[in-house]
Structure 1
């Protein structure tokens, strides 16, 4: 993990944890133009992305983030945002009583104790796409263009070039394995949870909603794929996040 910092540390702290194929710096560049308030933004490059090293595990990524936050004495966190892969780390912060976390926004997460079949399928798909990219070196993957549009796909494809097969194995495991336990009413009140209607992670997570977080109103973006609303309507998406943050 490589920690990117933006703004004045005395301002309210937002932690932005990006999905796979988007670095922390990329996520900051996407979101920051639409934030109206003054914040101190922590946007880590997770393993396999940006300036970070290899992706070993979600536990290892969180160990690095927690060490950084503890060393800096950043105990009060206004919001942790996580999308897809980013939620693997954000989930650990969400449960960590060493921090005073006000709110959490999670997008496109497979909330399941173990989705081994999904892990194998997704891992094989990413490995296949990685090997294809290493041969073709296209500027933007066609499948990503179909889902997210050309500019977004170009950014993701560039990031995918540096992700290794070993990174893919560890990332897919992190995305498909969660320590699930019932959320208290206090925890549920802090949480915004959403999915694209076409998101496979929604299918994996549905049983967990009633079992672990019955009071959370899950937002489902009609017609959108995994993290698709964020890509298609970044301005509106960030405005919603900021409104939620400052309630």
Structure 2
């Protein structure tokens, strides 16, 4: 993990954890024009992305983030945001009683203890696309363009170039295994869950949400798939995040 920091450390703390194929710096650049207040933003590059090393595990990534926060005496966090892969680390931070996390906003997460079939399929899919990309050297993957638009797909494709096969395996595992427990009422009041209505990860989460976090704030984006609302409507998305922080 490589820690990107933006803004004044005296301002409220926001931690942004990006999905696969998006670096922390990329996520910050997408969101920061639309924040209406000043924040101290910590937006790490996770393993396999940006300036970070290899992706080993979600536990390894979280250990690096936690060490940074403690070394810098950061314990009060206004928002931890995670999308897809980023939720694997965000979830750990949210449940860590070392910190006072006031709000958590998770997008496109498969909230399941073990999704072996999904993990197998993801590995096969990303390995295949990695092989194809190495042959075509495309600036933007056509399959990504269809879902996220050309500019976002171009950014994702560039990040995918440096992700290794070993990174893919570790990332897919992290995305498909969560240590779920029943959240307290207080924890549920702090939590927002966001899904595209066509997101494959939603089929897992809609089974576990009633069991572990039935009173969390949940929004389903009609007509959208995995993290695609964020890419299509960053302004409205950030406005909704800020509205949630103010609750």
TM-score with structure 1 length normalisation? 0.99
Q: Is the 8 A contact 2:189 2:217 kept in 1?
A: no
Q: Is the 8 A contact 2:21 2:160 kept in 1?
A: yes
Corresponding position of 1:111: 111
Q: What 5-or-longer segments of structure 2 have no aligned partner?
A: none
Corresponding position of 2:242: 242
2:83 aligned with 1:83: yes
**SS of equivalent residue, structure 1 residue 54:** coil
Corresponding position of 1:72: 72
2:198 aligned with 1:205: no
Corresponding position of 2:8: 8
RMSD, aligned CA: 0.5
TM-score with structure 2 length normalisation? 0.99
| CA-CA distance at 1:89 after TM superposition | 0.1
Tell me the distance in 2 between the aligned counterparts of 1:205 and 1:115. Answer: 11
Tell me the distance in 2 between the aligned counterparts of 1:55 and 1:134. Answer: 20
Corresponding position of 1:223: 223
Tell me the distance in 1 between the aligned counterparts of 2:246 and 2:144. Answer: 33
Corresponding position of 2:93: 93
| CA-CA distance at 1:23 after TM superposition | 0.2
Corresponding position of 1:138: 138
Q: Which runs of 4+ in 1 moved over 2 A?
A: none
Tell me the distance in 1 between the aligned counterparts of 2:26 and 2:84. Answer: 15
| CA-CA distance at 1:99 after TM superposition | 0.2
2:189 aligned with 1:193: no
Corresponding position of 1:18: 18
Tell me the distance in 2 between the aligned counterparts of 1:237 and 1:207. Answer: 25
Residue range with higher mean Cα deviation, 98-107 or 211-220? 211-220
